[in-house]
Amino acid sequence: MTTILLPLRNVNFSLPLLFDEIYQDLADGVLAEMAGCINRKLDEFVTRELGRDAYERCRHVQGLCLCRCQKCGGRWRPWFTRNGYRSRGLDLVIGRVQIDLPRVKCRCGGSVRLNLPDLQPGQRLGPDVAALVEHWAGLAYSLRDMKRELDEAMWTSVGLRSLSCRLRRWAALVPYWQTALLKDVPPVVMLDGVWITLMQASRRRRRDKLGRRRVVKQRVKLPVLIALGVWPEEGRSRVLDWEIATEAAEDRDNWLRLLNRLEERGLAPHQGLTLFIHDGGSGLIAALTELFPDVPRQRCVFHKLRNLAHALTLPSGLAPHDKRDYGRQIITQAARIWQAPTLDEAYQRHRLFCRQWQAEQPELVMTLQRDFEDTLTFYRVWDQHRLWPKHYLRTTSLLERLNRLIRARMRKAGAYHSLTGLQSMLAQVLLSP
């Protein structure tokens, strides 16, 4: 089976003349077939709502429909009749589809709004364009870059405001989503923050090339605090909520705003909440102690191992690859502590590790012993839930994968110029299935 990809119109690439004509004919045929299919679906929708076919009398038709008269507000089927068609263009990536939009009038003389489910009033861009714009937003294209690409590929010119509105729809969903009750409370919640760069207005002003006074923006680094719900027995996870901090710190107040909102939505021990997994931040621990004092807390083993790597002292005089092997050997040995099958075995491995490296790596051993008890909470939880895989209970690795996606977006964008744009990006990354 051969797959043929339709090229964008007006894209500059060299093809043999005959091959180019074949592509053009194929694109025109697809557009004509789409127009016929859309017109048939529109006629079927009108027939279903009016309860009768064209030229059929309405004496036996009763009931209300989804359509509404824009003059009298009526929805009674016998009052409505067909009133011809209105030509309308729908711009797709491969070209423009000319469709015949049915018109319906009421007995009062008013025009009837059809409330079509897949074709909004005034819509002139197809769903493929919206999907392409969201894809480009994920690649950190600017609005001007998107406009230039679409203008070259399509028959029409797309406004910057139209593109911006499409991306802002993601941000508009966030307030409703963050206030909805949790229908399924996860037993495990992972908490972590990822740092982003946001442009904020400063007190300084400058004059642009046209002599206008403009506010000077400055780069500000802020953390985005994220809560990820995990169902270990089912092996699934979902982002529960996030909070953009107001200050450049993962402090108690910023975490309380996120945790208070989750508590109001139904996150509670009596609903099934069993464990929090965190990176050991003091602000987060203070917030958890205040709101959820009775819920066990697991210190992320991945963050602990990263701290051990930072505390490692490498011997001088070794070659670079020998230093790498030396550090890898110690960190691998430390990781086996939390891979022990039982809690007693983990304690035994911990004592052996400290005894072996105390003289040679005192700072590393001190870092390991700090908050070590908090890294073993998952054993106690696992003793009560033997069907839960341990790797869901000891690290925030699932959340770290989402953080990497956000950091990749930030590297491409550099900085976001508004909270709305930042919320749109976060919604695309964190709310996507």
Percent of the chain predicted with pLDDT > 70: 91
pLDDT at 19: 62
Residue 138 burial (CB count, 10 A): 16
pLDDT at 7 over 50: no
pLDDT digits (tens, 9 = 90+) for 373-394: 999 999 999 999 999 999 999 9
Using CB atoms within 10 A of its CB, is residue 277 exposed (0-12), middle (13-18) or buried (19+)? Answer: buried
Instruction: Collect all residues with Cβ–Cβ distance below 8 Å to 79 and sequence separation of at least 6.
Output: 69, 106, 107, 108
List the structure tokens of 28.
């025109």
Task: DSSP letter for 30, please.
Answer: H
pTM, entire model = 0.72
Contact 192, 407 (CB under 8 A): no
Residue 423 has pLDDT above 80, yes or no: yes
- Residue 23's pLDDT is what? 66
Taking the CA atoms of residue 37, residue 38, residue 42 and residue 45 in that order, the dihedral angle to the nearest 10 degrees is: 70
The kind and range of the H/E element at 99 are strand 95-106
Q: Which residue is listed with tokens 């939390």? A: 338
43: enclosing H helix or E strand: helix 17-50
Q: Which residues pair with 219 in a beta bridge?
A: 199
Task: Please state which of the ranges 24-28, 199-203, 272-276 shows the lowest mean pLDDT.
Answer: 24-28
Rounded CA-CA distance 43/376 in Å is 65
Per-chain mean pLDDT for the chain: 85
Backbone angles phi and psi of 298, in degrees to 5: -110, 125
Q: Which residues contact 163 (CB under 8 A, 6 or more apart)?
A: 133, 143, 146, 147
Question: What's the pLDDT tens digit per position in 303-314?
Answer: 999 999 999 988
Confidence of residue 4 (pLDDT cuts 50, 70, 90): very low
Cα–Cα dist 2/274, whole Å: 52
pLDDT band at 11 (very low <50, low <70, confident <90, very high): very low
Contact 287, 308 (CB under 8 A): no
- Measured CA to CA in angstroms, residue 170 lies from 222, 242, 419 at distances of 21, 14, 12
In the prediction, which pLDDT does 420 show?
82
Classify residue 5 by its DSSP letter.
P
pLDDT tens-digit map of 344-380: 999 999 999 999 999 999 999 999 999 999 999 999 9
Confidence of residue 192 (pLDDT cuts 50, 70, 90): very high
pLDDT of 8 strictly over 70: no
Cβ(301)–Cβ(376) below 8 Å:
no
Residue type present at position 137: A
Whole-angstrom Cα distance, residue 34 to residue 18?
Answer: 24
Give the pLDDT of residue 155. 64
Asked if 262 contacts 241 with a C-beta cutoff of 8 angstroms, the reply is yes
Compute and round to an integer the Cα radius of gyration of the chain.
30
> Highest mean pLDDT: which of 87-91, 135-139, 216-220, 363-367?
363-367
Q: Considering all CA atoms of the chain, what is the largest pairwise distance in Å, rounded to the nearest integer?
A: 99
pLDDT over threshold 50, residue 401:
yes
Burial of 69 (0-12, 13-18, 19+ CB in 10 A): buried
In the numeric block, which tokens belong to residue 315? 């011997």
Length of the chain counted residue by residue:
433
Residue 225: band (very low, low, confident or very high) from pLDDT cuts 50, 70, 90: very high
Alpha-carbon torsion angle 63, 64, 67, 71, nearest 10: 110
Least confident segment among 60-64, 172-176, 208-212, 236-240: 60-64
